[in-house]
Amino acid sequence: MRIYCRLLGAHLRALLEYEADFWILAAATVLMQVVNIVFLAALFAKVPSLNGWTFWAVVMMFGAVALAEGVGSLFFEGMWRLAWQINMGELDYFLVRPYPVVLQSSSALIGINGLSNIVVGGAMIGAAIAHSEIAWSPWRVAVGVLLLISAIVIKLSINLATNSVSFWLSSPSPIFAFAVHQVGDLARFPLSIYPAALKAGLGIVLPFAFVSFFPVAYLLDEGSNRWIGLLTPLVAVYCAAVALTVFKRGLRRYESAGN
């Protein structure tokens, strides 16, 4: 952890050398989330609820996705450089160091926009909780924290697994991972508004629904299947195991870039 934090700190100091770029990127990230809120406000100004889900419930889902993406960008942005590292042979350096390759790759870059997403996502979750009637207890607080951590692990695991597919591709760009990431944006809305095939895809194949919908449904005590939210920690363990397996299998295929 000490080495990992030092690597991230080095990248952060490098980014802060360009202060104008830092503030522009941070402002753009905040603006993007503000646009999402304006969109939701405009939507719910026309309809009282979205298939039974209130405005603040959907805001909490948006916040959960933003927070998970923020943690991924700020601390594990290097995952999105994996395709480039494979294509350019940069993994050669990682393989000869006494430090896990997956962590070296993940810490190879820091996305400062993640900080804005964490702050705005946390604010959205806090505002939604303040406007929701949740019967808080020590047990419910502990479960809520566990579900939030598990949701972040699921999002990170999906990012790692999909980027690891680059070991089987020749492109220096993470096209497949980016396409899956775009699909994950559907998790910002209640799963119940989608058709059965999409529900299965977001709930089982690519469990983005466990990043937002199922944990929020359990905390707000809404929906007939709200108990599924308690499975989020198990899904997180499963996703992490699958992601690490895909990465390790892909690493065995790595043959450097030649000369």
Q: State how many domains the chain has.
A: 1
Q: Is 25 part of a structural domain of the chain?
A: yes
Domain holding 108, by residue range, is: 2-253
Cβ count near 69 (within 10 Å): 25
Average pLDDT over residues 85-90: 89
Is 258 inside any structural domain? no
Q: In this predicted model, what pLDDT tens digit does every residue of 192-238 receive, in sequence order?
A: 889 999 999 999 999 999 999 999 999 988 877 778 989 999 999 99
pTM of the model: 0.88
CA angle 138, 140, 143 (to 5 degrees): 110
- What pLDDT, on a 0 to 100 scale, did the predictor assign at position 97? 87
Average the pLDDT over 52-78 and give the result: 90
- Look at residue 170 and tell me if it is in a domain: yes
Confidence of residue 259 (pLDDT cuts 50, 70, 90): low
User: Considering just the CA atoms, what is the radius of gyration of the chain in Å?
Assistant: 19
Torsion of CA 113, 116, 122, 127, to 10 degrees: -130
pLDDT (tens digit per residue) in 166-187: 999 878 889 899 999 999 888 8
Residue 259 lies in a domain: no
Contact indicator for 11, 105 with CB cutoff of 8 Å: no
